[in-house]
Amino acid sequence: MSLLTNATHRVLDFLWPPICIGCGRVGTQLCRICGNHLTFWDNSRTGLESLQLSPSLRRVYSAVEYIDDAQKIVKAVKFSGYWTYTTLMAQLIVLQCGHRLRQEKIDVLVPVPIHPRRRRERGFNQTEKLAHELGKLLNIPVDTKSLYRAVYRKKQSQQNQTSRQSLHHDFAVRGTQLINKNICLVDDVFTTGATLSACTRALAQTPHKSIIAVVFAKPR
């Protein structure tokens, strides 16, 4: 990193210092005290056996449980546009899942895409930003072009259970960049698993080695 870049970061931190998502303390995105409120996910158990997921999705890793400050982080990013917290999310993923993810020999990170119309409404795709931050930490390339969302739907929070499960044809793959790759899907939150499963079904149409996923948070 150049001196100019370092100096720029110092100026930005002075003008807009990071703020703890939990208590509002200035100087850090998550202070030590609030960090103790996070409940880290036990990745030795899959927790997927009772869910109707695509059989091609071999494993889902998570950093934390979707409670307390983890919820605040996700909501701040998705609904308030504080996407700089994706840096913190990526750091927590690596802290909890980094060793296992490295063992997976991942070739490419693929963020769960949003429809272009949704992107225009929101201004960004938080999973893309999370994937890029994670890619920097794990030194893994990110592909944001091959998997795309072909169907526009209302916000997931406004959908009922049936609607969430009927996503089979929402996603598609273009090009040949993912052929014979170990693919890792990236998302912010695992809820019903419907979105990750639909993405996996689309990816599985292309010859591949394996498909796994990593998320920042899962509900209990």
pLDDT tens-place string over residues 139-157 = 999 999 999 998 877 665 5
Check residue 153 and give its pLDDT: 76
Does pLDDT of 48 surpass 60? no
Q: What is the pLDDT of residues 157-166, one digit of tens each?
A: 545 454 445 6
Q: Does domain 39-218 have CATH number 3.40.50.2020?
A: yes
Q: Is there a contact between 52 and 98 (Cβ–Cβ < 8 Å)?
A: no
Check residue 10 and give its pLDDT: 42
- CB-based burial label for 13 (10 Å; 0-12, 13-18, 19+): exposed
Q: Please report which confidence band the pLDDT of residue 65 belongs to, taking 50, 70 and 90 as the band edges.
A: very high
Whole-angstrom distance, CA of residue 134 vs CA of residue 137: 5
CB atoms under 10 Å from CB of 143, counted, come to 18
> What predicted TM-score, i.e. pTM, was given to this entire model?
0.85
The contacts of residue 218 (CB under 8 Å, 6+ apart) are: 41, 47, 60, 62, 65, 66, 189, 190
Q: Please report which confidence band the pLDDT of residue 45 belongs to, taking 50, 70 and 90 as the band edges.
A: low
Tell which wins on pLDDT, 138 or 44: 138
Check residue 9 and give its pLDDT: 41
Check residue 156 and give its pLDDT: 56
Per domain, the residue ranges of the chain are: 1-37, 39-218
Q: Please report which confidence band the pLDDT of residue 121 belongs to, taking 50, 70 and 90 as the band edges.
A: confident
Whole-angstrom distance, CA of residue 144 vs CA of residue 126: 12
Does pLDDT of 5 surpass 50? no
Backbone angles phi, psi at 152, to 5 degrees: -90, 130
Tell which wins on pLDDT, 6 or 188: 188
Q: Percent of the chain, pLDDT > 90?
A: 55
Check residue 3 and give its pLDDT: 39
Its sign, for the CA torsion 217, 63, 186, 76, is positive
**Highest mean pLDDT: which of 27-36, 70-79, 171-180?**
171-180
Looking at residue 141, the DSSP 8-state letter turns out to be: -
Check residue 34 and give its pLDDT: 84
CB-hemisphere CA count at 13 Å for 107?
11
